[in-house]
Amino acid sequence: MELQHLYDEYVDSYCEGNFVEGYCGWDGGEGLMSPETFKKEFTKDALSKGFDAEEVSGMADELADWCECHLSHLESKFR
């Protein structure tokens, strides 16, 4: 498996709502993971699979940026 493939799996899974933490106040359900927590999950998983730490770090930063952008687009739909 390539690191890019793992990255793509994380993006797809996040979009499907599979990465959650905490609770939303309005309905008591779980909320999507924050970009920082999502980044940590990806990093931990990638390193456990034997990927290079430097390459993982760069990809994790990119994933956190994607996540932040994704969440801001979701928020704008509800304003």
**Residue ranges per structural domain of the chain:** 3-77
Looking at residue 77, what is its pLDDT? 63
Q: Do 39 and 64 form a contact (C-beta atoms < 8 A)?
A: yes
Nearest alpha-carbon partner for 55 in 1, 4, 11: 4
Looking at residue 32, what is its pLDDT? 86
pLDDT of 11 above 90:
yes
Amino acid at 57: S
Residue range 24-64, pLDDT digits in tens: 555 555 578 999 999 999 999 999 999 999 999 999 999 99
Looking at residue 74, what is its pLDDT? 78
Write phi, then psi, for 2 (nearest 5 degrees).
-90, 155
